[in-house]
Amino acid sequence: MPSQLDLQLNAIMGRLLAPGSQFELTQVQRGGQEYPAFIHAPPTLPALFAFAAERHGDSPFLIDGDQRLTFAEALALARRLASGLLSSHAIAKGENVGIAARNSANWIVAYMAVLMAGGCATLLNGWWTGQELAAGIKLTGCRLVLIDAERARRLSDLDHDAALEVFCHGDSESGFGELLADEVPSLPEVDSEDRATILFTSGSTGAARGAWSEHRAVVQAAMNYAAQSLTVLTQLASAGRPPQGQPCALVNVPLFHVTGEVPVLLQSFLIGRKLVIMGKWDAREAMRLIEAERVSYFVGVPLMSYEIATHPERPDFDLSSCLSIVAGGAPRPIEHVGRIRDAMPDGFPLLGYGLTETNAVGCANFNENYLAKPGSTGPASLPLSDLAILSADGAHLARGETGEIAIRSIANFGGYWNNPEATAASLRPDGYFLTGDLGYLDEDGYLFIVDRKKDIIIRGGENIACLEVEQALYAHPGVAEACVFGVPDAKYGEVPAAVFLARDGHVLDCEMLREFVACRIAAFKVPAMVWQWQSALPRLGTEKIDRKALRETYADRAYADKSSGAKGDG
C-alpha cells in the first residue's frame, strides 16, 4: 500500500501538473514513440538561461570564494563570452566544443557560453590524465576546448588537434581575458532537437563513450527535477517545516558529471537556487558554508554527509537551513541513513538513481519513505520517468522478480557519439534504455538494485571499466593474469581492487605494480588494493576469469594499509 507521504506527494504533484500550470504535461513524438513532456518548458538551454535571468535576475546565483554573480550577471558574462567565441573561433551550429576544468563559477559561465554560441557542450572529465583527455577530444572531434591551466598542462606535448583557450578561476573579467567581447550582437538560434551536450561514461569495453543529448531532453530532465523539488518542499511546508529564504545548494559533485550538470546546476536556473561551490572537500568548511550561506540542499558522495553528521564540531554550527541531504554518485550505506537523520534532525537524507544516458532521471527516495526503506533508491521519478524490469529476452517482469532495470522518458539521451552499435545495444525501439543494472520493484513500486550486469565499478560517481584497468595491469611484462573488481569503501561506495598472477621468473611488488598502473590511467582508476595470487585465477565454465568469485573472496577482507596491498593466499 502507498505510504501516507506517497499519497501526499502524488496529490501535490497532481496540482502542479494541472492545465495552465508551469508544469502542465503534453505528449510529444520522438523516434516514433510518444512521451509525456512539459508543454511550458523552455525549448532550449539558452532559453532556460534567459528564463532564469528574467525570473531571478538580481538574486545571487554563483558563490565561488570571493566571486559572487547574480543570475543576470552570469547571463551577461556568458553572452559576452559566447560572442567572443563566435568572433574568434567561428563556432558552427551544433559543433562540439570541449570544456575541461575543475568546478568553478567560470566553468558554469563557459558552459552557458558554448551553448549560447550554438555549440554542443562537450564535458570532458576533469579527472582524466592527459592521454584520456586527448582521447576524449579526438573521439568527439572538438576543434576548440575551453580549459584551465592544470588540464592544459596535462595535454602539453600530446596530439589532440584542438585549439586550447585557457581560462582562469576567480574573477570572470580577468579569468576569460580577451575572449570576452565588448559588444554582443544577436546570438544564433537553436532548436529543441539540436544536439546540446556530450557527457562521457565508461562502457564495459573500457573505452569512454560520449553520450549526446538534444536540448529538449536536457531541459525536460531539469524540469522533472524542479517538479519533484517543488513537490517535496510543498509537502515540508504543509508539515510545518517551510524552507526559509532563497534555495541554496552546496556543490561538491563534479559539474562534468550528469548529477552536477542536471539536478544541481540546470535545476537551479528553474527554481532560482544559489550555488555555493567548494573547491576542495573539508567537512568543517562545509558546515561553515552551510551556516553562512543558509544552504538548504547538500549533495555529495555518501561519506561527505556522514562526515558532517559525525564531526565533533557539528554542534558548533547552525545547520538548520539544510532540509535535503542528498547522496549522489554512489549507494549510501544503509547504516548511514538513520545516523544522518539523528544528527541533523532539521533535514532528511535523500537518495536518487539516474544515469548519464537518462540525464539523471530515474527514481528517487524522499524523507520518511527513505527512512522506512533505506535499501531502496525509490519509485520512478514522476512525472516523466517510466521504470521496467526486463528478463534476458526483453519481456517485462512482475513486481518482486529480478531482471535488468530499464528507464524510459523524453529525457533519455540520443545515442553514443560515433558508436551506433553501442547505441542500438542499449536503446530499445520502444524507448527504454537498458541500464545494465539488475534489480526488482517491490509491491509499492520501489526499486531495489541488487547487482550490475556490466563490469563497471562506481567510485564516488566515477564509472571505472574493469577491463580498462586490467589492460593497464597487463601492460606490465611480469603480469600473467589479472582481474579487477570493486570492493566496498565507506567514502566512495566502492573502490577498484585487483588480483594478479606473476609470470614465471618475475618477482612483483604490489605497490610497484600500482605505481606502474598510475602512469597509464587516471588516479581514481588505480586499484586501491592489490593482492598477488599464487596459481591460475579461478575460471568459469566459459574459461573467463570468475570475477564474481574473486570479488566475494576479497570484498570483506580487512587491510591495514591501502597503499601497500596484501598478497593473496590463493
CA distance to 197, 219, 260, per residue, from 215 (Å):
8, 6, 17
How far is residue 559's CA from residue 14's CA, in Å, rounded to a whole number? 51
Q: What is the pLDDT of residue 242?
A: 78
Q: Where in the chain is the domain with CATH 3.40.50.12780?
A: 4-24+216-452
pLDDT tops 50 at residue 562:
no
Helix (H/G/I), strand (E/B), else coil: 466: helix
**Is residue 542 scored above 60 in pLDDT?**
no
Question: Residues 232, 9: contact at Cβ < 8 Å?
Answer: yes
Counting residues of the chain whose pLDDT is more than 70, the rounded percentage is: 95
Q: How many Å apart are CA 276 and CA 278, to the nearest integer?
A: 7
Cell triple for 51 = 528564463
pLDDT at 439 over 60: yes
pLDDT for 131 equals 92
Write the pLDDT tens digit of every residue in 337-352.
Answer: 888 888 888 888 888 8
Q: Which three cell numbers stand for residue 98?
A: 570541449
For residues 87, 149, 214 and 438, what is the CA-based torsion angle, rounded to 10 degrees? 170
pLDDT at position 205, please?
53
Asked whether 229 and 214 are in contact (CB, 8 A), the reply is no
Predicted confidence at residue 569, as pLDDT, reads: 40
CATH architecture of 457-554: 2-Layer Sandwich (3.30)
Contacts of 196 (CB under 8 A, 6+ apart): 44, 45, 115, 120, 121, 190, 213, 214, 215, 217, 218
CATH code 3.30.300.30 region(s) in the chain: 457-554
pLDDT digits (tens, 9 = 90+) for 70-99: 999 999 999 999 999 999 999 999 999 999
As annotated, the residues of the chain forming the CATH 3.40.50.980 domain(s) are: 70-190
Quickly state the pLDDT bin for 302 (edges 50, 70, 90): confident
Least confident of 26-35, 276-285, 316-325, 366-375: 366-375
Its sign, for the CA torsion 539, 540, 545, 550, is negative
- Rounded to 5 degrees, φ, ψ at 177 are 55, -130
Element (H, E) at 463: strand 462-465
**Cα atoms in the Cβ-side hemisphere of radius 13 Å centred on 484:** 27
Q: 120 or 562: whose pLDDT is higher?
A: 120
Average pLDDT of the residues in 227-238: 88
Q: Which pTM value belongs to this model?
A: 0.88
Backbone angles phi, psi at 398, to 5 degrees: -75, 165
Compute the distance between CA of residue 139 and CA of residue 440 in angstroms, rounded to an integer: 36
Contact indicator for 529, 484 with CB cutoff of 8 Å:
no
Question: Which has the minimum average pLDDT: 161-165, 266-270, 329-333, 494-498?
Answer: 329-333
Mean pLDDT of 112-133: 96
How big is the CA angle at 103 (ends 100 and 108), to the nearest 5 degrees? 80
Sequence-ordered list of residues with C-beta below 8 angstroms from that of 455, at least 6 positions apart, any chain: 204, 465, 466, 467, 547
Residue 451 pLDDT: 76
Whether domain 70-190 has CATH 3.40.50.980: the reply is yes
Q: Are the C-beta atoms of residues 276 and 289 closer than 8 Å to each other?
A: yes
Confidence of residue 556 (pLDDT cuts 50, 70, 90): low
Q: Are 148 and 175 in contact (CB under 8 A)?
A: no
Is the pLDDT score of 541 beyond 60? Answer: no
At 279, the pLDDT band (50, 70, 90 cuts) reads confident
Least confident of 308-317, 417-426, 482-491: 482-491
Class of the domain covering 4-24+216-452: alpha beta
Rounded CA-CA distance 275/63 in Å is 6
| Partners of 119 in the β-ladder | none
Query: Does 130 have pLDDT greater than 80?
Result: yes
> How far is residue 156's CA from residue 207's CA, in Å, rounded to a whole number?
22
pLDDT at residue 331 greater than cutoff 70: no
Distance of alpha carbon 359 from alpha carbon 296, whole angstroms: 23
> What would the mean pLDDT of 112-128 be, rounded to a whole number?
97
Cα–Cα distance between 274 and 289 in angstroms, integer? 12
Whether the CB-CB separation of 493 and 330 falls below 8 Å is answered with yes
